[in-house]
Chain A
Amino acid sequence: MTSYLLETVKSKFPQHVLETHAFRGDETVMVKKEALPEVAAFLRDSLGFDFLMDLTAVDYLPREPRFELVCHFYSSRHNYRLRLKCPVEGNAPSVASLTPLWAGANWFEREVWDMFGIKFEGHPDLRRILMYDGFEGHPLRKDYPLKKRQPRIQHRD
């Protein structure tokens, strides 16, 4: 079972899969950035992963490529999970949007844009979601200082 899923993805996309591993039972596939929509569509249509449970990113600052986009899929039909990751370079990061495949990706991607500054090509409405207009920078990046505030109105003394 474990190897079956990873093997299927690997044999289907031998040129796109960079790495697979299973740590504590969590199966992970790392693919090239360009192949993300294609692999995700294959997971949904052929392997029965109907839920995009989560979509987020991780900043590994000194390393290059700096970011990793992390998607968690769940199949309610077969009751299994898969993590799909792709590296995203730090200079003008962008990646193709998954909104055409899952409507639920909309807000997840807006949050990743807001917090990490990763652009999603083809996203219908990419704007800040948790922070406000006029906020500069992306707070969950490792180089954003924890306590750097950007008040919208002047504070009293």
Chain B
Amino acid sequence: MTNPPTDQQKNWTLEKLEDGRMALNMGPSHPAMHGIVRILLTVDGERVSDADIEIGYLHRGFEKTCETVTYNQCIPYTDRLNYVSPFINNAGFALAVEKLMGIETPARCQYIRVIMSEISRITDHLTCIGANAMELSAFTVYFYLINAREALYRLGDSAAGGRVTPAYARVGGLTRDLPPDFKRDTAEAFKILKKNLDDADKLLTRNRIFYDRLRGTGHISKEDAVALSFTGPALRSTGVPYDVRKASPYLVYDRFDFEVPVGSEGDNYDRYLVRMEEIRQSVRIVEQALAQLPDGPVNHPGYDVILPPKAEVYGGIEALMAHFKLTFEGVKPPKGEIYQAVEGGNGELGFYIVSDGTGNPWRLRVRPPCFSLTGGLANMIKGGYLADIVATFGQINMIGGELER
């Protein structure tokens, strides 16, 4: 099998083109390309007249690798898809396998998954805004927001034992229950978060420079955004109120009172505002969930799904067999295929799983939200100034792990 002819190499040299425009290379190792993306630009003076985006520098064979391991062994790999909001991936993948198996987890588990997902979403948005502000020379904001993120990382650390890569969910439950002081710790972390967020808000939202850099740049229309399969804050900034948590509520999202912020212009400033408001809404969800948090078990009762308690493994043959089979063969969903979508930090994160009835997935496909966003990036930067690429790219919040898997 041969590749079709490509123009990658012959057209893109760093030189003046015949019509007077310039070809310019940005990345893959470039301060504004957080992560590693290469943008091949044709510029007419300061205006971008054409852009070609080259990705794949962080392709790690996630989908192929997952075909060779059991379902529960996929969970650490899902952590590293969108590593800024890892718990959403954990929960999304576990939900997908549970849907395939036709089981439901206990209420407490679902509440904990919601709490951890929303904390993850906050860290995602904090990182996005902080990095974006830093690239636009507002370095102080970066320190404020990373400070808030640090408080939330400690929270995740206390619950899951990992700051960035928790691997907290399991098919049919969680690795462990929340620690005893989690409510109090969350309240304290949120105090830090709210203070830092308010400070950042005061520094950025009505800041003349920040406003001018974001308002009107990276514009995309509602129709284009839908045609390009945009989801998440980038879609909502154009005024389409699509949020998986509201449209097809999973876990227990239908029990909470929260708003889906939408923009009207579809530019970078609206995306920034949507993200800021989503942080506040996520705080509301976590507070409600902690208030409603029911008691009870966190894991599914079936020993064909979740590892039995250690006391029973050491004391009884049934549990020992279940432990052995689960460890070696893993959970075995029936034959079939399902698609489960959750709202990730950047939009709809979908898991499409094809099972052949064995312990390994036959095919595991992730629908990464920022794949579509990065695919549409060329449309958003064309016609704009070279310097605005930094602002637009920051607000797209490209995450290499999930973009290229």
Chains A and B directly touch (beta carbon < 8 Å): yes
* Interface residues in chain A, defined as those with a beta carbon under 8 Å from any beta carbon in chain B: 23-24, 26, 28, 50-54, 56, 58-60, 70, 72, 76, 79, 81, 83, 102-104, 106-108, 111, 115, 117, 126-133, 136-140, 144, 146
Complexed CA–CA distance, A137 and B1 (Å):
7
Whether B56 lies near A130 (C-beta < 8 A) is yes
* Chain B, 47-89, CB within 8 A of any chain A CB: 55-56, 59, 61, 63-65, 68
A76's partner among B55, B63, B242, B341 (CB-CB below 8 A) is B242
Tell me the minimal C-beta distance from A132 to chain B in angstroms.
7
Whether B56 lies near A103 (C-beta < 8 A) is no
Complexed CA–CA distance, A156 and B154 (Å):
40
B363 adjacent to chain A (CB < 8 Å):
yes
A72's partner among B99, B230, B354, B367 (CB-CB below 8 A) is B367
A103's partner among B55, B224, B231 (CB-CB below 8 A) is B224
Name which residue of chain B comes closest to A134, CB basis: B3
Complexed CA–CA distance, A50 and B248 (Å):
16
Complexed CA–CA distance, A18 and B348 (Å):
29
Complexed CA–CA distance, A130 and B354 (Å):
22
Residues of chain B with a CB closer than 8 A to A23's CB: 336-338
Whether B367 lies near A53 (C-beta < 8 A) is yes
Contacts across chains A and B counted by CB atoms under 8 Å: 109
Q: Which of A28, A76, A103 has the most CB of B within 10 A?
A: A103
Q: In the complex, which range does the number of interface residues on chain B fall in?
A: 35 or more
Whether B242 lies near A130 (C-beta < 8 A) is no
B115 adjacent to chain A (CB < 8 Å):
no
Complexed CA–CA distance, A77 and B397 (Å):
27
* Chain B, 361-405, CB within 8 A of any chain A CB: 362-363, 365, 367, 371-372, 374-376, 404
Tell me the minimal C-beta distance from A50 to chain B in angstroms.
5
Known contacts A53-B367, A76-B240, A133 near B63 by CB under 8 Å: no
Complexed CA–CA distance, A111 and B375 (Å):
11
Complexed CA–CA distance, A146 and B62 (Å):
11
Whether A53 lies near B229 (C-beta < 8 A) is yes
Tell me the minimal C-beta distance from A63 to chain B in angstroms.
11
Known contacts A70-B352, A127-B8, A24 near B372 by CB under 8 Å: no
Name which residue of chain B comes closest to A103, CB basis: B227
A133's partner among B6, B231, B337 (CB-CB below 8 A) is B6
Tell me the minimal C-beta distance from A61 to chain B in angstroms.
10
Whether B336 lies near A130 (C-beta < 8 A) is no
Complexed CA–CA distance, A115 and B404 (Å):
12
Tell me the minimal C-beta distance from B145 to chain A in angstroms.
30
Whether A126 lies near B4 (C-beta < 8 A) is yes
Residues of chain A with a CB closer than 8 A to B227's CB: 102-104
A58's partner among B64, B363, B404 (CB-CB below 8 A) is B363
Complexed CA–CA distance, A69 and B102 (Å):
25
Name which residue of chain A comes closest to B65, CB basis: A146
Complexed CA–CA distance, A58 and B341 (Å):
19
Complexed CA–CA distance, A107 and B374 (Å):
9
A128's partner among B6, B63, B102 (CB-CB below 8 A) is B6
Complexed CA–CA distance, A147 and B311 (Å):
40
A-B contact pairs, 13 of them (CB 8 A): A23-B337, A24-B102, A51-B229, A54-B367, A56-B365, A58-B365, A102-B228, A104-B375, A107-B375, A127-B3, A129-B55, A139-B64, A146-B68
Complexed CA–CA distance, A146 and B69 (Å):
12
Whether B375 lies near A131 (C-beta < 8 A) is no
Name which residue of chain A comes closest to B334, CB basis: A23
Residues of chain B with a CB closer than 8 A to A102's CB: 227-229
Known contacts A54-B352, A54-B365, A104 near B56 by CB under 8 Å: no
A-B residue pairs, 3 tightest by C-beta: A104-B229, A107-B375, A130-B56
Whether A127 lies near B64 (C-beta < 8 A) is no
B1's partner among A83, A117, A129, A132 (CB-CB below 8 A) is A117
Residues of chain A with a CB closer than 8 A to B128's CB: none
